[in-house]
Chain A
Amino acid sequence: MIMLFALIAQSLRRVRKFLLAAGVLLAGFQVVLILQANSIQTSNTFAQMGAMVPAFARDVLGPSFVAFLTFKGIVCLGYFHPVVMGALVSVSLTLATIPVMEIETGFIDLVLARPVARHWIVTRSILVAVISTAYLLAMMAIGTWIGLSYFAAKSAAWPSASLIGSLAINLGFLTLCWAAIAMAIGCACRRRGSAGAIAGLLALTAYLTDYIGRAWKPAESVAWLSPFRYYTPFELVMGSALSAKNLYVLGGIAAAAFALAYLLYSRRDISH
């Protein structure tokens, strides 16, 4: 156990500045969104904004569009804005490819020359990904709380804590799902650059597949393959409960990919 703690502490120490910066930026983003939402709320222009959107776009977006163009909707946007999702997925890819980076730099030679089983390296990386994801989501929630407490108009209808919690949990599962996929890819690659590029391209393709699938019916036949399909912020904003099915699917993909990472890492040659 001391050894596992030492490995986790060493990894977290290495990424602490990166995580700190990412956490502050994500929290700041929530505050900025709340400032914007507050500005629209006080000028009473949500209705005007809705009227400016073409009818076909409203048809495509469906009833969730109405829910989105509210103070609550803009605040919740901080949990599914492409920038936020992109940042979280990027952080998860970066952390998940640490094992392959350690192989590439030769650092792992010194670690594995000691009585450290290979599965501890993967376990360490999973725990670091979980801790980092939880920290980033907590920072986002803190940003939301600060924004609402200090910058939101009292008359505005705030999103409930359970809604923010549901969004964060669903987003956390999605982030871990990509961390697991990237880790499995990384455990099969020789270079971190290759692993990051493959995982990043896969994430982008999956995001676009889901996006197109939501707007264009024929694409729905393949959109179910995208992990992003199982993150449903619009439904949550509209009042649906957090879908257990979505969490099972994302958790299942993550578990399978982590298992694959264990298998690949235990069997591979450690050579740089």
Chain B
Amino acid sequence: MPSGSAAISIRGLTKRYGKLIAVDRLDLEVRRGEVFGFLGLNGAGKTTTIRILLDLLRPTSGSAAIFGHDCQSDSLKARSTVGYLPGEMGIYSDLTGHEVLKFLERIGGGSVSKEHRHSLTERFELGDRDLSRKLREYSTGMKRKLGLIQAFQADPLLLILDEPTEGLDPLMQESFYEVLADARQRGRTVFMSSHVLPEVERVCDRIAVLRKGEVVLLSSVEDARKLASRNVRVAFQQEVAIPASLPQGYEMIDAKPRSWTLRVTGQLGSLPAFLAALPVADLAVEEARLEDVLVKYYRDGAE
């Protein structure tokens, strides 16, 4: 594995199906050891990109590499570092959980630590009794848990997870976040697509928003949050006049004689100066939500 290379490196990646462009000149770099959120609406090109990384799909042009190994010409080496959770687990229902894990271990080439697997099954509460049952008796959530265990069991350097918490109950989602935190602590890289924005906000270091096959936002979660407009509620000790003009990035949402609600886009540095001459009694700033930014990007694309 070449040292110093990015975990995932995508250059000018394009995938066309006839006239339909699924991924359009995508450039992306995922650093080693980070948890990267890959976001976008259905059909934005997230799964297509993931499938190209795994050499399941062949790109029309451009290239993708995992730890420096080209995903097409050197795909076996690239895939030997990956643990993958597909969006839909196409596993035969006549197999037991144990059989699935054992089979996937054997074709994986590497060794799976029994302790590690045991800790995963414990965390996801999929005991021996559950694993001895055929998959046809599994609920959607149990299949998802099995999918997560098989992805994590070989402790791969890179985890590619497609909608990892879909179908998991809140307790299991917490378990997943713990497992993810452990993997991050061990220096593993995680590339995950998700629709659950609070989850992305919680676990991801950086995000890319894909829209119609193009990246419309690539930033750290912190920086993305800063792009969100925040509501600021100001209460006054006495009645005040509504100002004729507002600083740039400020918008009056609701104005009453003794209180205002302002929407502020960007940083709040200018707020104290703006309010300095006014008889402010109380001030409340709502936390910026990543969701507000992302929904805007989903709808409109880059500004």
Contacts and interface: CB of A to CB of B under 8 A. Distances in A.
B76 A115 contact: yes
B33 interface: no
- In order of increasing CB-CB distance, the 3 nearest A-B pairs are A106-B90, A113-B84, A6-B106
Interface stretch (A59-67, A132-140, A248-256, A264-272): A264-272
A11 to B, nearest CB: 11
B153 to A, nearest CB: 11
Interface residues of A, number: 25
Nearest to A269: B57
Contact of B92 (A7, A14, A109, A271): A14
Interface string B214-250: 0000000000000000000000000000000000000
Contact of A116 (B51, B88, B107): B107
Chain B contact-residue range equals 20 to 34
Contacts of A269: 56-58
Nearest to B83: A113
Interface in A132-178: none
A118 to B, nearest CB: 8
Contact of B56 (A14, A105, A107, A271): A271
B107 A6 contact: yes
B76 A112 contact: no
Interface string B90-106: 11101000000001101
B108 A110 contact: no
A112 B94 contact: no
By DSSP majority rule, is chain A's interface helix, strand, loop, or mixed? helix
Contacts of A14: 92, 94
A213 to B, nearest CB: 42
Interface string B78-91: 01101010101111
A111 interface: yes
A271 B86 CA distance: 12
Contact of B82 (A2, A10, A109, A113): A113
A15 B187 CA distance: 42
A270 B57 CA distance: 6
20 contacts: A7-B107, A14-B92, A105-B92, A106-B86, A107-B91, A109-B86, A110-B84, A110-B86, A110-B104, A110-B150, A112-B55, A113-B82, A114-B80, A115-B79, A115-B108, A115-B109, A116-B79, A270-B56, A271-B57, A272-B90
Given A110-B84, A110-B150, A267-B58, 13 more contacts: A6-B106, A7-B107, A106-B86, A106-B90, A109-B51, A109-B90, A113-B56, A113-B160, A114-B80, A115-B77, A115-B80, A269-B58, A270-B51
Contacts of A2: 106
Interface of A: 2-3, 6-7, 10, 14, 102, 105-117, 267, 269-272
Interface in B111-151: 150
Interface in B38-97: 51, 54-58, 76-77, 79-80, 82, 84, 86, 88-92, 94
Contacts of B54: 109, 112-113
A116 B82 CA distance: 12
B262 to A, nearest CB: 49
Contacts of A271: 51, 56-57
A113 B79 contact: yes
Contacts of A112: 54-56, 79
Contacts of A113: 54, 56, 79, 82, 84, 86, 160
A3 B57 contact: no
Contacts of B103: 6, 10
